Structure 1
Amino acid sequence: MIQRTRWKTLTDGARTRGASSRSGARRRWLGVLAVLTLGVGIGTAPHHDSAAATATELTRPVRTCESLTQLTFADGTTVTSAAQTAATPAICNVTLVVPESNGISMALPVDNWNGRFHGAGAGGYGGWLSPEQVAAPARAGYASAGTDGGHTGSPLDGSWAWSPTGMNASLINDFAYRSAHEMTVKGKAITTAYYGRAPDHSYWNSCSGGGRMGLMEAQRFPDDYDGILAAAPALNADRFVPAGMWPQVVMRESGNFVPRCKFEEFTRAAVAACDARDGVTDGVVDPQTCAFDPAGLVGRQTPCGRITAEDATVMKRIWDGPRRSNGSRLWYGIPRGAPLSAYAGTAETDGLPNPLPGDWFKYWLAKDPNWDWHTLTSADFATYFEQSRREYGPLLATDDPDLSDFRDSHGKMIIWHGWADEVIMPQGSVDYYTRLLATMGGKAKTERFARLFMAPGVQHCVDGPGAFPADPLADLVKWVEQGQAPDTLFARNGNMTRPLCRWPAVARYTGQGSTDDAANFRCSGK
């Protein structure tokens, strides 16, 4: 049996930085549960890249899977189960429970470990981690671990943070940063015990809330990972989550709950006006430069009625995003080209707030389970928004642009975000990366360790008309282990392929060959 003193050394080894609605709407939003929790999403799970794999010799375990239950940790963490599957490839599935926190899931390849550790986190409010999010990397050869964020429940339920006696600070800390770090440290320790040696390299790979956790790892625990892949990261959670309630406030105050088919007509018109204008229809290349005016659709007939001037005014305010009474901006709006049903849901003469911002206002800000969103005015919204920044920004924002410790640890980071993201305003990722460039010495110096790629037409993590990265983890592995920094990310959507360019460059059609072939596009505007 491994002695407790040895586990004390293993678990304390990482250096830390900083102390630092309605039932109908909820049921519909459970439909996006997979997107919020499946990490980088379907089609972009890590694959065993042959070029990268040559750097590491495959390793077999030095002990049985079942014997891992005999291990103990100095802090009382227990291995509650360890069982090997009969499937091919064989996997050792392990679960751990951290005191005063929650479970860690692991999947360890029995015959083909590639010497790498893979970490992943939960989306939304956490509480649940897809088994596939842990199993898929293990099938590809990674020692894989995942965290549910330190509690159990639905990713669309934020009530766990509240209690009648106050906010649950321990659970919030778990969700913010502790669960990801504990999973990483304990996961590496289990990996070392199982294979008889520590991982050669460690990678974080997640989308949405898991992307936020990856950025938090880089900011608070810069030695935990050699490479971090953060897709559509939920950074700025203190701002983008409350901003998701803005469309409902706009419609309620105007007395005009715009039906879905009118919103869809506005989106179609914006894409038609602001697409690449070169015969390529895969989404708005950069919504920030799209100046389409919804007033141009006044009078157009739709299946749910004629578009009115009042409809156009509501649309303009939703795209623009929340502002204070003096006109100054609070946060960004839903980008032109993104679906509007996520945050601007309506039913007949009433709104259907998304559970993500709905629970944020109810439990995290008003701290009252009986709070009624219909009482929220634009003036109240600004007050609540500032409260959100003040109370949760230092803990959850994950937007510290000083990544010097991560850079000095030779870490590499890839951030990518879809320009049609309907859940997390992609302008927030651009805002963060812009500040990162300013803090870390400019574009040339920053791109030595961190690069941003924007994906036109891609919705939250996956879906939409645009092409999303086919295997960004392989690109990250090559960068970390072979020094090959990605100039573009190869992206795919069905038969259509595209190069995703380093921000702010965008892919432009050369005018020759198929518009479905990435080879016929060039990056422009670096």
Structure 2
Amino acid sequence: MAPSIITGLLLPLLAATSSLAFDTTTRCTTSTFSSLSGVEISTVETLKGSSILRLPDLVPSCGGPDKNITVSADICRLVANVRTSNSSSIRIEAWLPDNWNSRLLATGTGGTGGCVDYSRLQSGAQLGFAAFGTNAGHDGSSGHDFFLNQPEVINDFGHRAIHVEAAVGKKITALFYGREVSKSYYDGCSTGGRQALQEAAMYQDDFDGILAGAPGVDWLKIVASKAILARRIGWPDLNSSAYVRPEQWQAIVAKQIELFDELDGEKDGIIDAPQNIRFDPALLACGTGALGQDLCLHPDQVQSVEEAYQPLTNGDGEIIYPPFIIGASTGVFSNNQKDGKPILNYSLVRDFWRGAVYNNSDWNENNFTLSDLDYALSINPGGVNSNSRDLSRFHQRGGKVLAYHGLVDTTVTPLLSMEFYKGVQAAVGLSLEEMQSFYRLFLVPGMDHCSAGPGAWNIGQVYPLDSKRLDAANHALLALVDWVEGGKAPDFLTGAKYQNDSVSQPILAERRHCPYPSQSRWDGRENRRDVRGWVCGYA
């Protein structure tokens, strides 16, 4: 087995070890990239680390027009549009650092795409990667107009944008640095996680290593589930005896945590293994005393809550999407009224079905049923729901997948990642040991969607980075690099919980997170806030 290469990635050693020190001022010109075909360059500029980059052209849903970000390294910044068809193009942004580690890092998008992931560009460039982002073919992460009558734009979002980003990114990097990249990586969460695993299935040569957070595979089912669950709890009839109000849901989730928190040995606001717990909402019925008279559940509401934690099934009774996880905030389907009128706060249902599924601005989600999901699945706009469980070719060429998922994810149930992992294992035909040799999934107790939450959730996936935790044990991307290039599969990832979730503040707790199906367990001796008190084992 090759020795670990992570020491070559540590920032203080970049110029002296694995990096190529480069003067961007001599190459950071439009003429350097003039041989690129089908690429229209709009910006080429040299930026210094710690300078402020102003982004006045961003649409409001991407943070503009007043968004300013800190440049994380001395870079050459390139912005270009790449033609993908006669009626579509994607925007690519490249941050090419002076101190290049010879690797490429591509990133994805969230929601319905439309916004460059600047935080991952910042992290990637700081670590020495030639870092790339994309708008996935349109501007904006909310709305539906950009999809109306635009099938090729939908194709970009559905399956094509990351592949184009990878291909063009490699050409840009080679032109700028004068040599090919040594290895190519991808980092994305949510929709970015869907894009990650679609890449591995459809374009297995694009990346050597893929970091997929809360992967939104079965994307149409994920989005549709919010409307279906809202209907299960009585919406849009806010006066129905079955309707469970938003404030009741807050009390329900708080009571779940109160009931099951201490099963792991300590009351810390975290249910360690919610996937193993069966919750009976009758415990919260009026008359039990569990909730106050204003919040307790009447008989029809008990049934509604029961149904909210059931999986989605098709007309034949087959499970097509796993259930919502207990202990997670239910706002994605229970925050469904405004000013006393029914409105689903989770706007992706409205946006995507209006723009990409029905191509109809007047469509309304208030009557959403399984037939709306079935229709979307039948046409599969842009290939957004392509089954990516067969990773045979990616496995055969030696690719690695490192996935992570929070166990209180409010948007994508972590049960989906567990089901997907088993699906890949079955499709590729591997033993668990063989599966672990190329695909590892880390479940993070107390982590919400991609980040945040009460648990020790920081595994290096957010910017700014903690310079004291840039190693394979504490940083998921560096663990992936060590696995791909050093042959060392991560036996665990150490998560940190910072005061106020800020890396400039003290660490309140650290915890070892383990590759599924093993689980992180407290040894009963060490301080629970000390990483040494956590071991990996099986239930």
Q: TM-score range by the shorter chain?
A: 0.7 to 0.9
CA contact (8 A) 1:243 1:357 kept: no
Secondary structure of the 1:415 match is strand
Q: Aligned to 2:364, which of 340, 365, 372?
A: 372
| 1:19 matched residue in structure 2 | none
Moved more, 273-282 or 421-430: 273-282
Residue by residue, what CA displacement relative to the aligned partner does 1:305-356 show, whole Å, maximum 9, x if unpaired? Answer: 4432333222211121434566543422321111111222133754331101
Cα distance change of structure 1 residues 510 and 185 upon mapping to structure 2, 3 Å threshold: same
How far apart, CA to CA, are the structure 2 residues paired with 1:399 and 1:375?
Answer: 27
CA distance in 2, matches of 1:227, 1:473: 9
**Range with bigger deviation, 306-315 or 444-453:** 306-315
Mean CA deviation greater in 78-87 or 206-215: 78-87
Q: Does 1:292 align with 2:279?
A: yes
436, 440, 446: which one pairs with 2:424? 436
CA contact (8 A) 2:235 2:336 kept: no
SS in 2 for 1:95: strand
What residue in structure 2 maps to residue 517 of structure 1?
Answer: 530
In 2 relative to 1, CA 367–76 (structure 1 residues): closer, same or farther, beyond 3 Å? closer
Question: SS of the counterpart of 2:483?
Answer: helix
Question: Which residue matches 1:91?
Answer: 75
Aligned to 1:342: 332
The whole-number CA distance in structure 2 between the counterparts of 1:408 and 1:61 is 38
Aligned position for 1:351: 342
> In structure 2, what is the Cα distance between the partners aligned to 1:274 and 1:72?
61
Q: CA-to-partner distance for each residue in 1:259-318, whole Å, 9 max, x for gaps?
A: 222101111222233344311535333333211111101124449544323332222111
Partner-residue secondary structure (3-state), 1:132 = helix
Distance 1:343 1:437 in 2: 31
Residue 493 (structure 1) aligned with residue 488 (structure 2): no
Once structures 1 and 2 are overlaid, which stretch shifts more, 100-109 or 252-261? 252-261
Deviation at residue 367 of structure 1 after TM alignment: 3.5
Of 276, 296, 300, the residue aligned with 1:310 is: 300
Deviations 1:206-241 (A, max 9, x none): 111111111122111111111100001111112111
Give the one of 237, 250, 254 matched to 2:219: 237
Q: Per the alignment, do residues 412 and 282 of structure 1 end up closer, same or farther by CA in structure 2, a change over 3 Å counting?
A: farther
Distance 1:185 1:303, change over 3 A: farther
Long gaps (5+) in structure 1: 1-46
State the SS of the aligned residue for 2:235. Answer: helix
Is the contact between residue 274 and residue 292 of structure 1 (CA under 8 Å) also seen in structure 2? no
Cα separation, 2, equivalents of 1:74 and 1:60: 21
Q: Which residue of 1 aligns with 2:55?
A: none
- Return the match for 1:171 from 146, 153, 166: 153
- Equivalent position amino acid for 2:235 in 1: R
Q: Aligned equivalents of 1:221 and 1:192: distance in 2? A: 20
Query: Is residue 322–residue 333 contact of structure 1 (8 Å, CA) maintained in 2?
Result: yes
2:20 corresponding residue in structure 1: 58
SS of the residue aligned with 2:171?
helix
Matching residue of 2:464: none
Counterpart in 2 of 1:181? 163
Structure 1 Cα separation of the partners of residues 320 and 197 of structure 2: 23
Q: Structure 1 residue 75: deviation in Å? A: 3.8
- Of 357-366 and 413-422, more deviation after overlay is shown by 357-366
Is 2:156–2:382's contact at 8 Å kept on the other side of the alignment? Answer: no
Instruction: Give the letter aligned to residue 268 of structure 1.
Output: A
Aligned to 2:455: 466
CA contact (8 A) 2:24 2:46 kept: no
CA change 1:223–1:51 in 2 (3 A) is: farther
CA distance in 1, matches of 2:235, 2:374: 21
1:260 aligns with: 246
| 1:144 CA drift (Å) | 0.6
Could you list the runs of 5+ residues in structure 2 that have no partner in the other structure?
A: 1-7, 51-72, 461-474, 499-507
Q: Which of residues 229, 235, 257 is equivalent to 1:247?
A: 229
Distance 1:374 1:224, change over 3 A: closer
Matched position secondary structure for 2:536: strand
One-letter amino acid matched to 2:122: A
Q: Secondary structure of 1:422's match?
A: coil
Alignment check: 8 A CA contact 2:33 2:176 kept: no
Equivalent residues of 1:219, 1:398 under 8 A apart: no
Letter in 2 for 1:352: I
- 2:463 equivalent to 1:479: no
Q: Note the aligned Cα RMSD (angstroms).
A: 2.5
Give % identity.
Answer: 25
CA distance in 1, matches of 2:309, 2:17: 47
- The alpha carbon displacement at 1:389 in A equals 2.0
Shift of 1:360: 3.0
2:56 aligned with 1:72, yes or no? no
Higher RCO by CA contacts (8 Å cutoff, separation 6 or greater): 1
Range moving further from structure 2, 59-68 or 448-457: 59-68
Aligned residue identity for 2:329: P
1:49 lines up with 2:49 in the alignment: no
Cα deviation for residue 242 of structure 1 reads 0.9
1:3 corresponds to which residue? Answer: none
Comparing 63-72 with 403-412, which one deviates more in the overlay? Answer: 63-72
1:407 offset after TM fit, Å? 1.7
Runs of 4+ in 1 over 6 A off after TM superposition: 50-55
Give the secondary structure class of the aligned counterpart of 2:264.
coil
1:456 and 2:439 aligned: no
* 1:445 match: 434
The partner residue of 1:506 within 516, 519, 528 is 519
Query: What is the distance in 1 between the residues matched to 2:444 and 2:109?
Result: 22
Q: Are residues 375 and 435 of structure 1, via their aligned partners in 2, closer, same or farther at CA, if it must alter by over 3 Å?
A: closer
Matching residue of 2:3: none
Q: Which stretch of structure 1 is more off in the superposition, 355-364 or 240-249?
A: 355-364
Distance 1:374 1:512 in 2: 53
Structure 1 residues 393, 453: CA separation in 2 closer, same or farther (over 3 Å shift)? farther
Per the TM alignment, residue 104 of structure 1 is displaced from its structure 2 partner at its CA by: 0.3
Report the counterpart of residue 68 of structure 2 in structure 1. Answer: none
Q: TM-score, normalised by structure 1?
A: 0.83
C-alpha change, 1:264 and 1:492, in structure 2 (3 Å) is: same
1:139 is displaced (CA, Å) by 2.1
Equivalent in the alignment of 1:395? 383
Report how far residue 461 of structure 1 moved: 0.4
Tell whether the 8 Å contact from 1:52 to 1:478 is kept in structure 2 after alignment.
no
The CA distance in 2 between the partners of 1:199 and 1:56, in whole Å, is: 12
Instruction: State the distance in 1 between where 2:253 and 2:378 align.
Output: 34
Q: Which residue of 1 aligns with 2:61?
A: none
61-70 or 275-284: which moved more? 61-70
Report the equivalent of 1:9.
none
CA contact (8 A) 2:349 2:365 kept: no
Following TM superposition, by how much is the alpha carbon of 1:51 offset from its aligned partner in structure 2, in angstroms?
Answer: 11
